[in-house]
Amino acid sequence: MNRHRWVLLSLGVPILLCVASIARLGDLGERTRPMLLLWGAAHAAYLLAAWWVVRGAPAGAAQDGTLVPRPSAVPIVLAIGLLARAFMIPAAPTLSEDIYRYLWDGRLVAHGVNPFPHAPSDPALLRYHSELIHHLNHAGVPTIYPPAAQILFGAVALVSATPLAWKLALLGLEFILLVGLLDLLRRRGLPDDRLLLYYWNPLVLVESFGSGHVDLVAAAFLVATVALYERRRTMGAGFSFALAVLTKYVPAMIVPWLIRRRAWLLLGVAAAAAAILAAPFLGAGPALTTGLRIYARHWEFNGALYHLLREAIDSDLQIRYILAGAGVVATLAIAWRARSTSAAAFASMVAFLLLSPTVFPWYAVPVVAFLPLHPDWGMAAFSGLLALSYLPLPLYRGTGVWALPGWILWVEYGGLIGAWGLTLAWRLKRAARAKRQDRAWACTSESTPT
């Protein structure tokens, strides 16, 4: 085994040990501090591994004037990532109740019931109550999850309305993401082992395969959209884009980019596919967006810009309008400046994280999905720092009061800005060094021969 593989193996094993320990802690909502210590250790190893494959690993060896690429470490990357998922999948989802809402909605869909018109606590749904109802958070709010997600929930519930069945479905759907990422890496001439920037990320392991959040599905379909579009398979890209948007609405932020690229066929196919996917639920009428409107109007958590504006503006609604307007401006700027579809998708997901009033840790999964293509050390660090938002969870369990200390926001977003600052300083220093070398070479080449 060569040095490159040994380095990755030595960094992957600690991640495995930490993830296995997290899975064995029991109720993570009560054992938050040991979870965060283990998560932090795993994330440190992850950042070192990410740096190694992007910056530290040798590019290859020269033989007879020919550069031989470094041996692929993808088998190690996949083996360690899959083992980590195998540890997390059987663990109970104790950090969030969202997975039970997926299963509740899925049972309704499997019984032919539209989940949008009624909240779970509505007496009209009393006949469908089961053990799931006791696990639901916000049982008085109608579902916020879009039609494609509902169809997926229903398909899983037809087989087994259990967290294990849902997580296994996520594992299967993640294959779409992995194939798309590998295809995009190879088309760009980038090393395959960059896949670990997504596949080893502890946030993905805990939030997707521990808590089972649906954001991974939206990320998978968005990556597939980019891969198919770059291969000029427009019909497939359009259908995949419809699935991404109707699993989680956020991927719609790349629509301005697609319009600027005149991707009319893709958008037309996406619109037609979205209409077909939504058709079974349209009978809900205006109730189709009731839960989403309640979420957009009232939810707020861990959003730095929201909290900064809150210090200066008394009106919560006005703040939300300002952030929404900033989101529109951001998507237009991205449409104008992004150099590729993957860059537009990545930048759009980052903009959502920075501008949303609500930033749960799992919202970063689609951002992490694009890190192999666009290594961003700020976002790589931020995906680990977001775990700090779980610190108030034991207090909330005991008192019912959710209070996020202000210092957590400073550490999370300060770490993000600090990492961005260090990256910028390093790039400027490297550019200055290259400029000095070019100037020295020019002076040498223009000197008078003796």
Tens-digit pLDDT profile for residues 154-172: 999 999 999 999 999 999 9
Give the pLDDT confidence of 197-219 residue by residue, as tens digits.
Answer: 999 999 999 999 999 999 999 99
Give the pLDDT confidence of 261-313 residue by residue, as tens digits.
Answer: 999 999 999 999 999 999 999 999 999 999 999 999 999 999 999 999 999 99
Query: In the 3-class helix/strand/coil scheme, how is the chain assigned residue by residue?
Result: CCHHHHHHHHHHHHHHHHHHHHHCCCCCCCCHHHHHHHHHHHHHHHHHHHHHHHHHCCCEEEECCEEEECCCCHHHHHHHHHHHHHHHCCCCCCCCCHHHHHHHHHHHHHCCCCCCCCCCCCHHHHHHCCHHHHHCCCCCCCCCCCHHHHHHHHHHHHHCCCHHHHHHHHHHHHHHHHHHHHHHHHHCCCCHHHHHHHHCCHHHHHHHHCCCCCHHHHHHHHHHHHHHHHCCCHHHHHHHHHHHHCCCCHHHHHHHHHHHCCCHHHHHHHHHHHHHHHHHHHHHHHHHHHHHHHHHHHCCEECHHHHHHHHHCCCHHHHHHHHHHHHHHHHHHHHHHCCCHHHHHHHHHHHHHHHCCECCHHHHHHHHHCCCCCCCHHHHHHHHHHHHHHCCHHHHHHHCCCCCCHHHHHHHHHHHHHHHHHHHHHHHHHHHHHHHHHHHHHHHHCCCCC
**Mean pLDDT, rounded, for 51-63:** 75
The whole-angstrom separation of Cα 139 and Cα 98 is 11
Instruction: State yes or no: pLDDT of 447 exceeds 70.
Output: no
The whole-angstrom separation of Cα 102 and Cα 299 is 19
More confident residue, 117 or 132: 117
With beta carbons less than 8 A apart as the criterion, state whether 68 and 61 touch: yes
The whole-angstrom separation of Cα 240 and Cα 260 is 19
- Assigned domain for 344 exists: yes
- Assigned domain for 405 exists: yes
With beta carbons less than 8 A apart as the criterion, state whether 404 and 392 touch: yes
What are the residues whose beta carbons fall under 8 Å from the beta carbon of 313, sequence distance 6 or more?
319, 322
Query: What pTM does this model have?
Result: 0.94
More confident residue, 439 or 322: 322
> How many Cβ atoms sit within 10 Å of the Cβ of residue 64?
5
Q: Hey, what are 292's tokens?
A: 């989403």
Instruction: State yes or no: pLDDT of 71 exceeds 80.
Output: no
More confident residue, 400 or 349: 349
pLDDT for residue 56: 78
Instruction: State yes or no: pLDDT of 1 exceeds 70.
Output: no
Average pLDDT score over the chain: 93
With a pLDDT cut of 90, the percent of the chain lying above it is: 84
- What is the greatest pairwise CA distance in the chain? 98
- Assigned domain for 441 exists: no
Instruction: State yes or no: pLDDT of 188 exceeds 70.
Output: yes
Task: Rounding to the nearest 10 degrees, give the CA dihedral for residues 372, 375, 379, 383.
Answer: 30
- Tokens 């879009």 belong to which residue? 146
Instruction: State yes or no: pLDDT of 239 exceeds 70.
Output: yes
pLDDT for residue 255: 98
When divided into structural domains, the chain yields a total of 1
The whole-angstrom separation of Cα 199 and Cα 180 is 13
Instruction: State yes or no: pLDDT of 112 exceeds 60.
Output: yes
What are the residues whose beta carbons fall under 8 Å from the beta carbon of 3, sequence distance 6 or more?
58
pLDDT for residue 63: 55
- Assigned domain for 450 exists: no
Based on the number of CB atoms within 10 Å of its own CB, is 439 exposed (0-12), middle (13-18) or buried (19 or more)? exposed
Q: Hey, what are 125's tokens?
A: 């749904």
pLDDT for residue 443: 66
- Assigned domain for 264 exists: yes
pLDDT for residue 403: 80
> How many Cβ atoms sit within 10 Å of the Cβ of residue 29?
15
pLDDT for residue 138: 87
- Assigned domain for 400 exists: yes
Instruction: State yes or no: pLDDT of 90 exceeds 90.
Output: yes
**Mean pLDDT, rounded, for 19-36:** 96
- Tokens 């949008």 belong to which residue? 116
> How many Cβ atoms sit within 10 Å of the Cβ of residue 157?
23
Instruction: State yes or no: pLDDT of 61 exceeds 80.
Output: no
Query: 450 pLDDT band (50/70/90 cuts)?
Result: very low
- Assigned domain for 449 exists: no
* Structural domain containing residue 158: 3-56+70-436
pLDDT for residue 276: 97
pLDDT for residue 70: 67
- Residue 131 sits at φ, ψ, to 5 deg, of -60, -25
Instruction: State yes or no: pLDDT of 68 exceeds 90.
Output: no
- Assigned domain for 444 exists: no
More confident residue, 448 or 198: 198
